[in-house]
Structure 1
Amino acid sequence: MIGLGTYAFFWQLSDRNPRPMTLPEAFQATCDLGVGLHQICDYAPLEQMDDAELADSAAAAKDLGLVIELGTKGIEPGHLTRFLEIAARFDATLIRSMIYGPDSRPKLEEAHQWLTKTMPAFEAAGVTLALETYEQLPTADLVTLVEDVGSENLGICLDPGNVVARLENPQTCVEQVADLTCAVHVKDYAFARQPGWVGFTYSGAPMGAGLHDYPHLLRTVRPRERGINEVVEHWLPWQDDPETTIRTEREWTRTAVDYLRSTT
């Protein structure tokens, strides 16, 4: 299933927007594109919502017929337990996270201990935990960690663009994690020369216009045959003013959705 994540609405939700979009408005914008899944990922207000606010947000998604996934950072047992509670509110069956959180950087041994402690609760709840590929942890270490914990409800959220900052090859990352992938983040990326030819900027690009060999990912991971959701997000730099930035963000989202629908 195609989905839109919070990072597809990054600037629309941000305080740099004169009137930041609300979460129900993001849900509606998702539906307006004919998309049936929304991943609330790294959306700080979610953790601060009280029971009534969570109930209202969940009701808004349900009224629109949206499937909801969640996303956070960190794997501390208490933190993941809290997100399991939030997931129950939304009937969410997938939570994306990262090994490191804002206040924690566990060694691999400690990460293994935490996940071993926490995964039985995920299994009982029928929720999958998807740990994302990213530059702060070698992909090989992430694969080893997931394999060693050995839970059917623990997998990998594949975002090959992230690993370039470790000088890892995105296609190699795709091949390393293919069998363990249970979620995909969809964004394109490219390098651009800095003025004066003194270095490069690595940033986002409209889907299909950058360096991401997405057909290779489709062939290798087979997300559609395996029922793995493809969630759109962006690395869109600020475009000088809110109006241009928000318009461009919406254009990139439409481009990404059209791209996914056109590929087989």
Structure 2
Amino acid sequence: MAYGLSTYAYFWRISSRAPVPLTVEEMVRSTRELGGDVFQICDYPLIETFDDARLAGLRATAEDLGVTLELGTRGIGEDHLARYLELAGKLGVTLVRSMMNSADHRPGTAEATGLLRRAVPAYAAQGVTLGLETYEQVSTDDLLTVVRAVDDPHLGVVLDPGNCVARLERPRDVVEATAPYVVNIHVKDFAFSRRDGWVGFTYAGAPLGEGLLDHAHLVETVRPHERSINQIVEHWLPWQDGGFETTARIEDQWTRHCITTLQRSK
């Protein structure tokens, strides 16, 4: 088990609002500087445009720094999963996170099961595990129906209990239901706050330990230390009134706080 960071820990610093967005190589170096051992390149379509030379250079940079790389994408179409398996091979990746739905494809459980039964054997043959993330577009019950039907140790669940609140699923219930199948954890705290005039709520991120995520219960239930499951820091930091400089500074503060908090919990 190791702690690490995701591209979502650098969300605003790689966005179009950044004067000069960070490169993936810079994020890998930052991960090591902050004490992380894993960097998950998640929902970062630019990686698909890298030629073999840049992919080899990225892999070498990570290996030189002692940082393990993981990949993350969306969708379970056969060609798309095959493309990410190819990328995984070139980067030395053994964990690929995906989601059941993509922008143009929302398979039901039967279709998803068929697609994954065809895709997962190639992942297994290459020693790569595919993890499907918990999130509001797909119920946890449906996600687990697919994972159980495929019934392969190289297909599991990427646990992010905060995502499921928008579906009115309780994070604690999601943790307990998915625990036997978890292969990766996204550590992202979250909280509700009243909007101006007390008209409704905003649901957004919070520094780890200051929101509603019961991380102690998650660790006790899933047992990542015993099962060699990596915990990856992400954020839901809203854009700040002070603009990019303020937002980037707070994003960095949250990242440092989260990775330090996780390391102290060992």
Structure 2 runs not aligned, ≥5 long? none
Counterpart secondary structure, 1:231: strand
- Output the amino acid matched with 1:249: E
- Output the amino acid matched with 1:149: V
Task: Name the residue aligned to 1:53.
Answer: 54
Matched, 1:155 2:156: yes
Counterpart secondary structure, 1:256: helix
| 1:59 Cα offset (Å) | 2.1
Counterpart secondary structure, 1:140: helix
The 5-angstrom pairing of residues 70-85 of structure 1 reads 70-85=71-86
Task: Name the residue aligned to 1:146.
Answer: 147
* Superposition CA RMSD, Å: 0.9
Whole-angstrom CA distance in 1 between matches of 2:37 and 2:228? 14
Q: Is the 8 A contact 2:9 2:255 kept in 1?
A: yes
The 5-angstrom pairing of residues 222-241 of structure 1 reads 222-240=223-241, 241=243
Deviations along 1:201-221, one digit per CA (max 9) or x if unpaired, are 000001110010100001100
- Output the amino acid matched with 2:24: L
The 5-angstrom pairing of residues 26-65 of structure 1 reads 26-65=27-66
Task: Name the residue aligned to 2:91.
Answer: 90
Whole-angstrom CA distance in 2 between matches of 1:59 and 1:126? 20
Q: What TM-score, normalized to structure 1?
A: 0.98
| 1:259 Cα offset (Å) | 1.2
* Equivalent position to 1:253, from 233, 255, 261: 255
Whole-angstrom CA distance in 2 between matches of 1:154 and 1:236? 30
Q: Is the 8 A contact 2:12 2:18 kept in 1?
A: yes
| 1:250 Cα offset (Å) | 0.5
Counterpart secondary structure, 2:261: helix
Counterpart secondary structure, 2:107: coil
Counterpart secondary structure, 1:20: coil
Counterpart secondary structure, 2:156: strand
Q: What TM-score, normalized to structure 2?
A: 0.97
Deviations along 1:76-100, one digit per CA (max 9) or x if unpaired, are 0110010001001111000000000
Counterpart secondary structure, 1:34: coil
Whole-angstrom CA distance in 2 between matches of 1:139 and 1:164? 11
- Output the amino acid matched with 2:194: R
Whole-angstrom CA distance in 2 between matches of 1:125 and 1:96? 15
After TM superposition, the runs of 4+ consecutive aligned structure 1 residues lying more than 6 A away are none
Q: Is the 8 A contact 2:161 2:175 kept in 1?
A: yes
Q: Is the 8 A contact 2:35 2:259 kept in 1?
A: no
Whole-angstrom CA distance in 2 between matches of 1:44 and 1:81? 15
Whole-angstrom CA distance in 1 between matches of 2:14 and 2:225? 29
Whole-angstrom CA distance in 2 between matches of 1:108 and 1:11? 34
Using the TM superposition, name which of 129-138 and 61-70 deviates more.
61-70
What percentage of aligned pairs have identical amino acids? 53
Task: Name the residue aligned to 1:243.
Answer: 245
Task: Name the residue aligned to 2:22.
Answer: 21
Whole-angstrom CA distance in 2 between matches of 1:28 and 1:67? 12
- Output the amino acid matched with 1:41: C
How many residues are paired up? 264
- Output the amino acid matched with 2:50: M
Structure 1 runs not aligned, ≥5 long? none
| 1:261 Cα offset (Å) | 1.5
| 1:177 Cα offset (Å) | 0.2
